Amino acid sequence: MSKRRLNAAGLGEVPVEILRPAYSRRGVSPGIVHLGVGAFHRAHQAVYTDDVLARDPSWGIVAASLRSPDTYDALSPQDGLYTLSVRSQQGEALRVIGSILRVIVARDNVDDLLDAMTTPATRIVTLTVTEKGYCHDPATGNLNEEHPDVLQDLATPNRPHTAPGLIVEALRRRHAKGVPPFTVLTCDNLPANGRTVKRVITRFAELLDAQLGRFIAEEVSCPSTMVDRIVPATSDEDRQRISQRLGMADAWPVVTEPFTQWVIEDRFPQGRPAWEDAGAEFVADVEPYEHMKLRLLNGSHSTLAYLGYLAGYRTVAEAMADPSFVRLVEGLMDEEVTPTLHMPPGADLSSYKRALIERFKNPALRHRTWQIAMDGSQKLPQRLLGTIRDRLREDAPIKRLALGVAGWMRYVTGFDETGAPIDVRDPMAARLRSLANEAEGSIEHLSQKLFTVTEIFGRDLPHDARFTDAVTECLRRLYENGARRTVAELP
């Protein structure tokens, strides 16, 4: 006999050792619309919001999935409830999160979503749509005006499908009704993410109507943020284990680590939740923290993902059980990344880096290298290439950074070191595979072909021999010696 589903009516039956919402959900009203209701949002921003609803219940979340109905199908029968699992070497702590009041599938119910975004009670729209969801050029941060989804939304602006299209149409409707604009709060790993989303939506609006573009440029606040929490994909084993402890079925719990961080620029004209009471840090300028996280955590993560996958390691913890990979990451962070960071007084980079190593080693988190490797064409510019540019300006070595880029090149060919196919998930996967095929087995031609992708490498790096020579040499070593030996032989 199958277990009953987790839902509002069954909250009272949750075992006492599992935390439940510290407020009555019947008294909570929506104040936030979130675009991109994936695992990260549910392990991060939704948890911070859950922590403060007892104090101010006007900040409930209406969450939207832009394409897939999977999250809706899982959470709607559960009244938006789900279980948060925090796993460490000391064990697992469970908590039921109640801040998501309902889920909308934008593809099927765009009018419902636009109504939720237009109502005056919605004062913040948050986003975790991943880098590719902004329909921008990762190398420049500008709107990709030739993106097919952008062209579709520009042709039918009242039926948008993209995050920029939805935001601009909702802002247009609010403006027409005299409703003040909401704050747009992106929580994705984009460089200067607030300024990037502001630039993208302003340009999108300008292409529709110059006056609307000016309004968004002048009146819409887009604070930058830095978010940090490792959230692996939920496995069937996770579902079974958590449902067993819960005493009822949870179709989509989320699993994460104890560490969490949220740094936010404090610019919210229509108000905001007291997220600082839940541990968020409000600052005047988030850029130093953003660089710290993107370059130290995300840059190391991507390097581990490509090289670790090629070496046969299926999780980050497996890779970090190899002393050579620990040495690679420590050297990358200490010698090549840290000199490019300029932190405010009081920031403790040494402690942050030590914590990163321990987080990467956490065997309770089965964070798959394949998962982190997704969408590399969108991630490389901010995770590795920005650091490389800073290093080259100082004429400083980039051997570990170059190895990370070479690992990505080897990975996107679509075959691993044994000749087995790799399931490369990337919006440019077909194009990258075609370029790899054109190289016809030549390592030099492979790197040269991939360097032509200006959306990733820009127009500067492909013409800097210090960069291209270093990456091509690392790529040669990966092909000749394999990833494990290449990493082990790093000086």
> What does the pLDDT profile of the chain (491 residues) look like in tens digits?
357 999 999 999 999 999 999 999 999 999 999 999 999 999 999 999 999 999 999 999 999 999 899 999 999 999 999 999 999 988 999 999 999 999 999 999 999 999 999 999 999 999 999 999 999 998 899 999 999 999 999 999 999 999 999 999 999 999 999 999 999 999 998 889 999 999 999 999 999 999 999 999 999 999 999 999 999 999 999 999 999 999 999 999 999 999 999 999 999 999 999 999 999 999 999 999 999 999 999 999 999 999 999 999 999 999 999 999 999 999 999 999 999 999 988 889 999 999 999 999 999 988 999 999 999 999 999 999 999 999 999 999 999 999 999 999 999 999 999 999 999 999 999 999 999 999 999 999 999 999 999 999 999 999 999 999 999 999 999 999 999 999 999 98
d(C-alpha 402, C-alpha 25), whole Å: 51
Long-range contacts of 151-160 (CB under 8 A, 24+ apart): 153/204, 154/204, 154/207, 154/208, 157/208, 159/110, 160/110
0.85 surpassed by pTM: yes
Identity of the residue numbered 96: V
Give the Å distances, CA to CA, from 68 to 36, 65, 188, 318, 404: 10, 6, 19, 31, 32
Q: Which ranges constitute the DSSP H helices of 132-192? A: 148-155, 163-177
Domains of the chain in sequence order: 8-283 (3.40.50.720), 287-488 (1.10.1040.10)
Identity of the residue numbered 385: L
Segment (H or E) for 480:
helix 465-481
| Distance between first and last Cα of the chain | 59
Instruction: Give the phi and the psi of residue 379 in degrees, each rounded to 5.
Output: -95, -35
Identity of the residue numbered 239: R
Using alpha carbons only, what angle is made at residue 45 by residues 219 and 354, rounded to the nearest 5 degrees? 115
Segment (H or E) for 200:
helix 193-208
- Strand, coil or helix: what is 322? coil
d(C-alpha 236, C-alpha 224), whole Å: 35
Locate the DSSP E strands across 304-392: none
d(C-alpha 217, C-alpha 206), whole Å: 10
d(C-alpha 87, C-alpha 221), whole Å: 36
What residues pair up with 294 in beta bridges, in sequence order?
Answer: none
> DSSP character for 272?
-
The gap from C-alpha 248 to its chain's centroid, in whole angstroms, comes to 30
Joined tokens for residue 490: 């790093």
User: Exposed, middle or buried by CB within 10 Å (0-12, 13-18, 19+), for 334?
Assistant: middle
d(C-alpha 218, C-alpha 208), whole Å: 17
In this structure, are residues 475 and 443 in contact, taking their beta carbons and an 8 Å threshold?
yes
In this structure, are residues 63 and 44 in contact, taking their beta carbons and an 8 Å threshold?
no
d(C-alpha 424, C-alpha 412), whole Å: 6
